Chains A and B, each alone.
Chain A
Amino acid sequence: MKDYLLTLFLALRSEFFISIRSFSSKLILLAPSALILLRYCLVKLSESGEQIRDSLSGSPSFEDAIASNAWGYYVDGLGTGITMLGLLLVGMAAYSFSYERDTGSLRHLVIRRFSRTQLIVAKLLHLHILALFSFIFLMLTAYIVSGVFWEFAAVAEDGFELISEQEIRQEIFLGLQLALIPIPAAIAFGLFISVSSISATQAVTTALGISIAIDVFKSMLGDYALYIYASFLPSLLDQSYLQDVSRLVRGYSDVLIDERAQQLNMLVPIPSMLIFLVAALFLVRKRSL
């Protein structure tokens, strides 16, 4: 067991050795943060433009103090960043194994040092670590930039505090927890597609195609969508709880908290991840390299 873990650790080091010199890892680390930074700048520019237009025309500026609360922008930024991170991770997971098989570099690894199982587990861990760093970077960027552009405050109306900052933080924490739980399943899904595809191009297009198709068609699935991990990831057609949090911290009172959806959000992704992982580990033993 000790030898197995030491070799697994070496496989992880080997993954990082190549990864820190590759463009795709940098993309995962930086792209979500860069995207929300761009988004914040555009929103701020647009708001500033409206304010200038209103002051020049002499009409009173329509600025809803609640709507421009930095917490709202912070959650929006996180939602956008996690959407991109989720898609990038699926794509990168799909690319990781299949690309190395295409180039043949995987051959040296399995002949010289690592079992196929160790390789898959190392790739899974590597992508989780990348996702973790990317998310930390995303959170910091979102917090700092939204704090610079807007002001963090409790949700208040007519001097009456509707939601305290403490409650906002708790809701954001819950929203993030529910949004991040499906990420391991997304990574395992990408790896499963990577192992089962015949080329890197096929793997990436299949993994992203299926992810986007689920996103687009999930409303047609009705309640069945709640049994698919991807329904809980912030996405292009976002139905995640983070979307609700965004409305909540802006003072909207019509946010419907679906207890059953939250429970399934907690329960569905981890078994999904395990199913994809077991399938990938089974398939990888049979694949020609």
Chain B
Amino acid sequence: MDSSQIDVALSVSKLNKSYGDFKVIRDLELQVTRGSIHGLVGLNGSGKTTTLECILGLKEFNSGNVSVLGYSPADLHRASGKLVAIFDTSSLPPNVSLRHCLQHASLLCENKVRTPQEVEAMLGLEAFSKFKIKHLSLGNKRRASIAHALLGQPEIILLDEPFNGLDAGGVDDVLSLITRLNQEEGTSFLLSSHQLPYLEQICSHIAVLHKGAIALSDSVPNLLAGNIETVLIRSEDRASLLNALKIIDEVQYLKTDEEGYHHISMANKSSSELNQQLTARNIEVSELILQRASLASMFRAITSEGSE
């Protein structure tokens, strides 16, 4: 095993899955490095849940290789709890109390680091410990699922739609818990969600899944850096400005909007450099607004490709 493999917690290559003639996943490639928070984002029906189910060995796939912590999907139980998953439904025994459910999970745990009482306190579930799982609210079921996963010390946690059913406070709690576990215990995460704004807040890496294939995947800084920035400039001396823009390298004039802003795209140039070059040509810039490409705009661009 070389060093690059050691750093990879989860690796998927050339994964294909079909239901009859319908290809749900096509040549999917995905890697989650240890210690990262990897977001898998896609529209409803893009294949996120199927991908997770194939990774977890819950569904057979047609072809491809999947390895999680060095184990194949069929052998994940050998990892003895180093991998845990939290599903979009609670997937907990509905007729037992929360405390008993957590005690049962604790029984399965080879390396227990927290007691059921402690995880209940972590997730704010102390008041519900005697409630049967089926009587919990949607949000508390989601919290219970997370509590269920945290009795041991997993190296990687896979979450499918972790924010479903949570109120704003609940989402913040989950986001801060994920960040804390990642920073303090080095836990890797693969979060599958269609809610990019939440993923954007915590993920170190994002992969966009569209129509069963990874359309884009990289670290968040790289994704943002690789995109051309748009600058909005306003100047009283419009003619000189446009002439100057023709001369300055790596700058392209796009359009002028109704409010008089000139839209310029830039590659490998900062806005301050542009300002300096314009000032050097005695062009007075009254306003300069940097519009950085957002993950949301990239996501929209990718997911709208097929629908156009």
Contact = CB atoms under 8 A, between A and B. Distances in A.
B100 A21 contact: yes
Given A14-B104, A14-B107, A104-B87, A112 B80 contact: yes
A130 B108 CA distance: 22
A21 B93 CA distance: 11
A108 B58 contact: no
Interface of chain A, helix or strand or loop or mixed? helix
A18 interface: yes
Contacts, number: 79
Contact of B56 (A13, A23, A111, A286): A111
A288 B58 contact: yes
Interface in B215-255: none
Contact of B105 (A13, A107, A108, A114): A108
A176 B104 CA distance: 37
A115 B60 CA distance: 15
B95 A114 contact: no
A10 B90 CA distance: 23
A46 interface: no
A121 to B, nearest CB: 14
Interface in B75-118: 76-77, 80-81, 83-85, 87, 89-96, 100, 103-105, 107-110
Contact of A107 (B80, B83, B91): B91
A288 B53 contact: yes
Contact of A103 (B84, B85, B91, B110): B91
A10 B107 contact: yes
Contact of B60 (A21, A112, A288): A288
A55 interface: no
A57 interface: no
Interface in A102-150: 103-105, 107-115
B84 A21 contact: no
A111 B91 contact: no
A111 B84 contact: yes
A105 B80 CA distance: 17
A70 to B, nearest CB: 40
Interface residues of B, number: 32
* B56, B58, B109, B148 interface centre (most CB from chain A within 10 Å): B58
A29 B103 CA distance: 24
A108 B95 contact: no
B59 interface: yes
Given A21-B100, A103-B94, A111 B107 contact: no
Interface in B37-68: 53, 56-60
A18 B100 CA distance: 8
A103 B56 contact: no
A139 to B, nearest CB: 30
A10 B58 CA distance: 21
B59 A288 contact: yes
A289 B91 contact: no
Contact of A109 (B89, B94, B108): B108
Given A10-B108, A21-B100, A105-B93, A111 B83 contact: yes
Interface of A: 10, 13-14, 17-18, 21-23, 100, 103-105, 107-115, 285-286, 288-289
Given A14-B107, A112-B81, 4 more contacts: A100-B93, A104-B89, A108-B148, A111-B84
Interface of B: 53, 56-60, 74, 76-77, 80-81, 83-85, 87, 89-96, 100, 103-105, 107-110, 148
22 contacts: A14-B108, A17-B100, A18-B93, A100-B93, A104-B87, A105-B93, A107-B58, A107-B85, A108-B92, A108-B148, A109-B108, A110-B58, A110-B77, A111-B76, A111-B77, A111-B83, A112-B80, A112-B108, A113-B80, A114-B77, A285-B74, A288-B53
